[in-house]
């Protein structure tokens, strides 16, 4: 094949968006989703930084925290049930759920999805625990824990976002769009329930959980955008053959 033929083939591939060159991993985010994903990731960053500046070195909640936290406490939910729900965000449960998603992606020969699940959750949790919490150093009077952002909601929303990305980019199969939406919605509800449990147990303010969700969502979307760079997709494609 001569140079002109190679150029023609490359042009033909570009004209057919459903096809990609051999040896390159499929993108995690469809082309129409990448710009909204970038906007959401940037919005999450702005939210986390803004709230972090407002709440730095504080040991009390603002008006919105007082309103929501009082409402949650007023539900008089059983502490045993709240403890059980909160355990979904503990390290053992997060490890099992993240490994399950990664192994599912590997079974489907989607290495990029497995990398997103593991790297996204680890990066989001590491950013929360090792960077943002020490910098902001917001505490809660009841326990004197460093609270901002919530590590439990960070991990669960990171995992839910990774699940959503994997499902939205999965090839058509037995699992229809309605089922995929239902799975992601259930994951988001569970993540939100853990956030409510952390408030009810007195471990976090409402805005801690909001920031935790923002870190999880933003980091995973940013990781997906990074993994979709052509050079990285070529590298992943070498190991997906």
Confidence band for 174, pLDDT divided at 50, 70 and 90: low
**Residue 24 forms part of a structural domain:** no
Percentage of the chain exceeding pLDDT 90: 71
Q: Which residues pair with 232 in a beta bridge?
A: none
- What pLDDT, on the 0 to 100 scale, is given for residue 217? 98
**Residue 6 forms part of a structural domain:** no
Kindly report, residue by residue over 91-145, the tens digit of the pLDDT.
Answer: 999 999 999 999 999 998 889 999 999 999 999 999 999 999 999 999 987 667 8
Kindly report, residue by residue over 18-31, the tens digit of the pLDDT.
Answer: 445 556 888 999 98
**Residue 20 forms part of a structural domain:** no
Nearest alpha carbon to residue 150 among 79, 214, 91, 71: 214
**Residue 213 forms part of a structural domain:** yes
Name the token pair of 70: 């009082």
Mean pLDDT (the chain) is 88
Does residue 194 register a pLDDT over 70? yes
Name the token pair of 8: 């023609």
Separation of alpha carbons 241 and 22, rounded Å: 9
Domain count, the chain: 1
Separation of alpha carbons 228 and 195, rounded Å: 30
**Residues, the chain:** 241
- What pLDDT, on the 0 to 100 scale, is given for residue 13? 42
Asked if 102 and 118 count as a contact pair (C-beta separation under 8 A), the reply is yes
**Residue 35 forms part of a structural domain:** yes
- The pTM for the full model equals 0.87
- What pLDDT, on the 0 to 100 scale, is given for residue 240? 59
Across 4-13, 40-49, 75-84, 165-174, the highest mean pLDDT is recorded for: 40-49
**Residue 73 forms part of a structural domain:** yes
**Residue 160 forms part of a structural domain:** yes
Confidence band for 199, pLDDT divided at 50, 70 and 90: very high
Q: Which domain holds residue 211?
A: 30-233
Percentage of the chain exceeding pLDDT 70: 88
10 vs 133, higher pLDDT: 133
Q: Where are the beta strands (DSSP E) in the chain?
A: none
Q: At what angle do helices 111-126 and 230-239 cross, to 10 degrees?
A: 120
Does residue 165 register a pLDDT over 50? yes
**Residue 141 forms part of a structural domain:** yes
Give Rg (Cα) of the chain: 21
Kindly report, residue by residue over 39-89, the tens digit of the pLDDT.
Answer: 999 999 999 999 999 999 998 888 999 999 999 999 899 999 999 999 999
Q: How many Cβ atoms from other residues are within 10 Å of residue 33's Cβ?
A: 17
């Amino acid at each position: 094949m001569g140079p002109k033929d190679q150029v023609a083939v490359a042009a033909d591939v570009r004209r057919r968006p459903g096809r990609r060159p051999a040896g390159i991993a499929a993108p995690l985010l469809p082309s129409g989703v990448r710009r909204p994903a970038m906007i959401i990731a940037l919005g999450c960053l702005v939210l986390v930084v803004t709230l972090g500046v407002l709440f730095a070195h504080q040991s009390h909640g603002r008006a919105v925290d007082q309103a929501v936290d009082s409402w949650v406490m007023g539900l008089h939910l059983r502490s045993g049930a709240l403890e059980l729900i909160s355990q979904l965000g503990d390290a053992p449960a997060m490890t099992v759920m993240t490994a399950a998603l990664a192994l599912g992606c590997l079974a489907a020969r989607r290495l990029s999805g497995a990398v997103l699940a593991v790297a996204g959750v680890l990066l989001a949790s590491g950013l929360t625990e090792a960077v943002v919490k020490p910098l902001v150093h917001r505490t809660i009077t009841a326990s004197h824990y460093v609270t901002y952002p919530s590590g439990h909601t960070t991990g669960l929303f990171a995992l839910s976002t990774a699940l959503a990305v994997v499902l939205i980019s999965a090839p058509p199969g037995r699992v229809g769009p309605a089922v995929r939406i239902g799975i992601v919605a259930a994951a988001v509800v569970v993540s939100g329930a853990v956030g409510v449990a952390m408030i009810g147990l007195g471990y976090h303010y409402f805005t801690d959980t909001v920031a935790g969700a923002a870190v999880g969502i933003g980091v995973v979307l940013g990781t997906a955008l990074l993994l979709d760079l052509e050079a990285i997709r070529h590298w992943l494609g070498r190991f997906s053959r």
